[in-house]
């Protein structure tokens, strides 16, 4: 019996929410302004990192700078 659309979606989400190292990911959906968007694109181009990597690095470095790194 073929899977229903809901079953396929559930399996996709389970797979998509794990990175290649097996870490559980959290979906983050935000709207950012054009200046921040341009900076993000420049950072991606300059570093060769993915958008995800750039955002994670920025968050972690900001937390470290404010000494609230868990």
- Domain containing 29: what range? 5-65
17 confidence band (pLDDT: 50, 70, 90): confident
Residue 61 tokens read as: 């470095």
What pTM does this model have? 0.73
Which residues neighbour 22 within 8 Å (Cβ) at sequence distance 6 or greater? none
Instruction: Between 19 and 59, name the one with better pLDDT.
Output: 59
| Number of independent structural domains in the chain | 1
Question: What are the backbone dihedrals phi and psi of residue 22, each rounded to the nearest 5 degrees, phi first?
Answer: 90, 5
Instruction: Between 38 and 9, name the one with better pLDDT.
Output: 38
Give domain status of residue 53, yes or no.
yes
Give domain status of residue 70, yes or no.
no
Query: Is the pLDDT confidence value at 3 over 90?
Result: no
Q: Please report how many Cα atoms fall inside a 13 Å half-sphere around the Cα of residue 19, on the Cβ side.
A: 8
CB neighbours of residue 40 within 10 Å = 15
Residue 16 tokens read as: 């998509």
């Amino acid at each position: 019996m073929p899977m229903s659309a809901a079953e396929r979606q559930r399996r996709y989400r389970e797979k998509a929410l794990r990175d290649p190292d097996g870490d559980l990911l959290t979906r983050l959906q935000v709207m950012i302004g054009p200046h921040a968007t341009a900076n993000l694109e420049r950072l991606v181009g300059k570093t060769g990192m993915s958008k995800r990597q750039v955002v994670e690095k920025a968050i972690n470095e900001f937390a470290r700078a404010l000494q609230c790194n868990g």
